[in-house]
Structure 1
Amino acid sequence: MVKLIECVPNYSEGRREDVIEAIVKPFKETKGCYLLDYRADKDHNRLVVSLVGEPDALGKALVESAEVAIKNIDLNKHEGAHPRIGAVDVIPFVPLRNITMEECVEFSRKFAEDFHRRTSVPVYFYEESALRPERRNLEVIRKGQFEVLKEEISKPERYPDIGSPEIHPTAGATVIGARKFLVAFNVNLHTNDVNIAKAIARAIRSSSGGFSAVKAIGLELKEKNMAQVSMNIVDYEKNALYRVLELIKCEAKRWGVSVAETEVYGMVPAEALLQSTSYYMQISHFDPNQVIELRLLDLLGRD
């Protein structure tokens, strides 16, 4: 049985097309690694890549891609709305088929050793791969971003999990781990007041008492002249997209603001979208097996 892992590496580059294409090139050329999607955002100054592949092929392509990113990205000159501590900021591995979460954790740790050996970039483990309970959450590791970490990495509480307590001078540090599938879901508002987006983010995120599986921040989108509530839905089965969106609409109304549009960034499970489709279309007793393409894929995919 072929083992398949999904990987969604995030890079701190969203503006230079030549660098973006060079970063994704190894994913297009490595046998056993399949490039599903890649999206660059100029406001975030961030590239998000969606991959599926066999473990060894993924590892090979990821290290080659990382070497390109590290060569071309200098965080001392980097500006963007999205938090980051590394040129290769985060590399998550998600068990997809014929592989367990435990196996993904083991693979993430072996990969991290090779990644550090090849790049000299210190590594932090997060989510299921975390070696310290407080480091399960990405925001804890990324606190203060690159600018603060380069001053505090020498403190024992901020020592990396792999590598000496020294920041890479231009590429910072990288966070690696195994996790469940998450949905990157953004809501753009009919306002450019970022304080409104930040207030809404506080109301809905888990750490402030909102939804149990939602991480959210408020950002300014200068290119669109809008403010954005940028979210990671870390468990879409617990927190359906429509519930999150409806609460954002209610909170926005308090500020006299409406929702302009929403974005799903990267890949998304069909079920996550069908939940909201069923809700907004008011379909009674809807079953995903009623979608013929999904039913056919299920039948074709059986061993």
Structure 2
Amino acid sequence: MNSQSQLSSIEDIFDSSLNLEETHFKEGYNEGYSQGLMSGKEEAEQTGLKMGFGIGEELGFYRGCVDVWNSAILVDSNRFSTRLKESIKKMEELIEKYPVLDPEDERVTEIMDSLRLKFRVIRAGLGVKLEYDGTYTILVLLIVLYNEALLISYSIVYISESRNKVALESIERAAKLFPEAPIVNKFEDVTYNRVGYTLVSSLAPKPSLDSCALKDALLAMVKAALETIDFGLHCGSHPRLGVVDHICFHPLAQSSLDQAAGIAKSLAVDVGSSLQVPTFLYGAANVEGRTLDSIRRELGYFKPNSGNQWAGGPNSESLPLKPDEGPAQVNQAKGVLVIGATRWVDNYNIPVISTDIAAVRRIAKRVSGRGGGLLSVQAMALAHGNDVIEVACNLLEPSNVGGEMVQQEVERLAKEEGMAVGKGYFTDFSQDKIIENYLKLCPLI
């Protein structure tokens, strides 16, 4: 065999090897593809079935919730606000719209997201701890629905101290003796030398004021504060009237303003008689509906007595206004206390980068309803450190005029004065967050 033939033979063998390798590769690929396709289809079917069952169970849970809520409304419609009834109706409409037989419908994700959001809104409005996790039953839902947690009262106690840690620890220990009314938030401000404690407690449908955990916890805190703080030695850049400056009550979930007012009045009686502190009532707790700001104005609350600071106790033992409870004379070491009950109020403070207190006072006046600004907004300018003055606001109707609107108005007015404005902040949590924190500390059975 000549060299040419040998070369040709080698090439044929090489080509055959390549063809054989390619054939094996194609066969392997086709076999692997077929097996992968079958396996993928089986896995997809299992995943689809699992997801389908999951969605079906969640829809069934929401359907059960709506049925129970509608039954409860028939039994006692007064337990549910108009807003809650509308939300339940809309949730029912969303369930009816869900395309159960057409999972590829474009509306599937949108409707399910809307259902989950509506459920959270209703849950917060009822004040119940309830989440879908595939384990809840309608029986559990019924227990939760009629639990006393439907009636929740909320209170903030403002104490004129934040630098004396021993005093604060004593006050907090006193509160812990009443675990049914836990502290769900603590807001300290060292510059203002002031602290606010938020307490929440569930109420019985017909609460007894002789045995009320929220009132008892607050009374213990007031007593501890009076024992550890001398008002005559206090100094801060926030106005105040006493060691315990202010206690406000607000109804949450399905509780009523009358219930909140009843606790406020009962607490005022105890503070006035047993602790001998002149106590003034406002809002629903006052027979004439007197407002908080009107009482403060008559007592000189808004006027600092040491530059931009409030220092020491009252100038006189005599009071310009007769207290609703307690002695007519004020003790310099205790001061006076204002207690009241109203609908929800938000406190929102906006920092203005300035040292010109007069200019920021103009802004505060112009942003307030009293000064011709935003309705239901009360505002004042308070020095907060060396280079900051805060526009401190009470938002009496936050659903109509909220923090964002006030922020924009302060920024607009400050721009006219040539001042920079920082981002404002709330001094407490939202209603939903407060209820959530309470339920974490006192889980429902």
With structure 1 as the length reference, what TM-score do the two structures score? Answer: 0.82
Retained in 2: the 8 A contact 1:75–1:87? yes
For 2:337, the equivalent position in structure 1 comes to 174
Unaligned 5+ segments in structure 1 are: 272-293
For 2:112, the equivalent position in structure 1 comes to none
Shift of 1:149: 7.2
Of 97-106 and 141-150, more deviation after overlay is shown by 141-150
For 2:377, the equivalent position in structure 1 comes to 214
The percent of aligned pairs where both chains have the same amino acid is: 24
Measure, in 1, the Cα distance between the counterparts of 2:294 and 2:189: 20
For 1:244, the equivalent position in structure 2 comes to 406
Select the structure with the greater relative contact order (CA < 8 A; seq sep ≥ 6). Answer: 1
Q: 2:224 aligns with which of 68, 76, 82?
A: 68
Q: Secondary structure at the match of 2:245?
A: strand
Q: 2:424 aligns with which of 248, 262, 287?
A: 262
Q: 1:48 aligns with which of 186, 190, 196?
A: 196
Retained in 1: the 8 A contact 2:276–2:327? no
Measure, in 1, the Cα distance between the counterparts of 2:238 and 2:286: 23
Q: Following TM superposition, where does structure 1 have runs of at least 4 consecutive aligned residues deviating by more than 6 angstroms?
A: none
Aligned residue pairs total 271
CA deviations 1:64-96 (Å, max 9, x no partner) are 111111112222221111111111111111111
Retained in 1: the 8 A contact 2:272–2:327? no
CA deviations 1:213-246 (Å, max 9, x no partner) are 1111101112x63111111111101212211111
In our comparison, the structure showing a higher alpha carbon Rg is 2
Distance 1:270 1:187, change over 3 A: farther
Cα-Cα RMSD: 2.5
Retained in 2: the 8 A contact 1:150–1:172? no
Residue type matched to 1:87 in 2?
V
Measure, in 1, the Cα distance between the counterparts of 2:275 and 2:166: 21
**Where in structure 2 are the equivalents of 1:29-44 lying within 5 Å?**
29-44=177-192
For 1:188, the equivalent position in structure 2 comes to 351
Structure in which a larger fraction of residues adopt helix? 2
CA deviations 1:96-153 (Å, max 9, x no partner) are 13421112212211221122222111110012212344x3233533531385574551
Measure, in 2, the Cα distance between the counterparts of 1:20 and 1:147: 20
For 1:288, the equivalent position in structure 2 comes to none
Residue type matched to 1:27 in 2?
A
CA deviations 1:137-182 (Å, max 9, x no partner) are 33533531385574551x4xx0101123111231111111111111
Measure, in 2, the Cα distance between the counterparts of 1:39 and 1:22: 16
Structure in which a larger fraction of residues adopt strand? 1
Unaligned 5+ segments in structure 2 are: 1-146, 204-211, 302-311
Q: 1:86 aligns with which of 217, 225, 242?
A: 242
